[in-house]
Amino acid sequence: MKVILFANTEWYLYNFRRSLALALREAGHEVLLVSPPGPYGEKLQAMGFRWVAAPMDRRSLNPLREFALLRWLRDLMRREQVDLVHGFTIKCAVYGSLAARWAARAPGVPARVNAVAGMGYVFSSNDLKAKVLRPVVRSLLKLALGGPGARLILQNPDDVALFEKARLVDAAQVRLIPGSGVNCERFTPRPAGTPAGDPFTVVLPARLLWDKGLDEYVQAARQLRAEGRNIRFLLAGDPDPGNPAAVPEATLRAWVAEGLLEWLGHVDDMPALFAGVDAVVLPSYREGLPKGLIEAAACALPLVTTDVPGCREVVSHEQDGLLVPVKDGPALARAMARLQDDPALRDRLGQAARAKALAEFDERIVVRRTLAVYAELMPAMMSAGQPAVHGT
């Protein structure tokens, strides 16, 4: 079977879907990775994968440019004689699925799997641009996600309910799979008795978007510093200029200059980062299933996040982390102060978070369930190879 994995960044393919690509390749299937150009394309090629740079501008609203991208995808699929297309995020799911239907050599071929991680900027923002785009995107979703030979993978029950209520897709075609998984052999707790260090250190690991709760994180940092608490506030991630919700780099540097936080930029070795912190926070406004939180959970770190879709699938309040109201900087500050003051609570929450990551979010579970979706659509081809699913 030949499979296209199509995402809006090569970084996403490398960091979130590498284990899926490896499992497919080890089963004898051919994998073609497609995304806009970027430095992680070379890393994917170094691993022996075929990677093709798509002429895609994530922020483009030019109808001619978007139609040209659809035609490019259609031609690629026809040329490669693709059997199954798996698109990630709303734009890639819609475009990949539309191009697949256009390119089909026979009804239902290629098969189409669409993974939507959260509802994205168009549905989560209330600015004018998002409101204008919303009905257009709804119509495209209905057209792209339905029909024979299609499955929609969602990451949390709230999104399942939202799609069903909006009648964007037949409920029988929806599959719930929690995120892209985490390698629980790579993300492990630091050795018992090893302190993270002094002062108390927290990190927010995410793309640097306003809807990840960066404003609330800064509010909490100001409040806790004003109280005289000895806390380091770290921010791990890069700006995402392709996203309308991106925090300007000048704003990030102003926060650093004010002494509120330390901006680490992109971090390649996340296990090493987590080994040096006491807690992980993500005050997001909405998620599919946040990778940073489940990686931190696998490291047995206490988590603080918002009581919103996606985040509350990872954290159960007082059991394996703390939930706070969305857009509430003071509540976020109180939760972090509570963890600083109570080492026993940190340990209890962290151990429970690790147990949950092993039971529900290990990438081997996620890959196995994803391949089961493929097998629904292409049973004969999938039965020809049994992939070895392991940590990467």
pLDDT per position as a tens digit, 52-99: 999 998 777 788 999 999 999 999 999 999 999 999 988 899 999 999
Quick one: average pLDDT of 359-363?
96
How does the average pLDDT of the chain come out, rounded? 90
309 contacts 284 by C-beta, under 8 angstroms: no
- Between β-strands 174-176 and 2-6, what pairing exists: parallel, antiparallel or unpaired? unpaired
Quick one: average pLDDT of 247-273?
96
pLDDT of residue 108: 44
Contacts of 220 (CB under 8 A, 6+ apart): 283, 329, 330, 332, 333, 336
Per DSSP, the three-state class of 51 is: strand
Instruction: Count the Cβ atoms, other than its own, within 10 Å of residue 147.
Output: 17
Is the pLDDT confidence value at 152 over 60? yes
Quick one: average pLDDT of 98-125?
73
Is the pLDDT confidence value at 124 over 70? no
Is the pLDDT confidence value at 267 over 50? yes
Closest CA to 331 of 175, 186, 217: 217
Q: Which CATH class is domain 2-181+363-383?
A: alpha beta
Same fold, 2-181+363-383 and 200-361: yes
102 contacts 74 by C-beta, under 8 angstroms: yes
pLDDT of residue 392: 45
**Domain 200-361 carries which CATH code?**
3.40.50.2000
pLDDT of residue 382: 64
Position with higher pLDDT, 121 vs 87: 87
Taking CA 11 as the corner, what is the angle to CA 88 and CA 180, rounded to the nearest 5 degrees? 50
Quick one: average pLDDT of 132-142?
77
pLDDT of residue 161: 87
The pLDDT tens digits for 295-343 are 999 999 999 999 999 999 999 999 999 999 999 999 999 999 999 999 9
Crossing angle of helices 329-341 and 214-226, in 10° steps, is 60
Tokens encoding 387: 């992939």
How is the chain split into domains, by residue range? Answer: 2-181+363-383, 200-361
Alpha helices in the chain (DSSP H): 10-16, 18-26, 40-46, 63-80, 90-103, 120-124, 128-145, 157-165, 214-226, 249-257, 270-275, 291-298, 311-314, 329-341, 343-356, 363-377, 379-383
Is the pLDDT confidence value at 221 over 60? yes
Is the pLDDT confidence value at 391 over 50? no
Is the pLDDT confidence value at 365 over 90? yes
pLDDT of residue 388: 47
pLDDT of residue 334: 98
DSSP string, 140-188: HHHHHH-STTEEEEESSHHHHHHHHHTT-S-GGGEEE--SS-B-TTTS-
pLDDT of residue 385: 54
Confidence of residue 384 (pLDDT cuts 50, 70, 90): low
The pLDDT tens digits for 191-206 are 866 666 689 999 999 9
Per DSSP, the three-state class of 392 is: coil
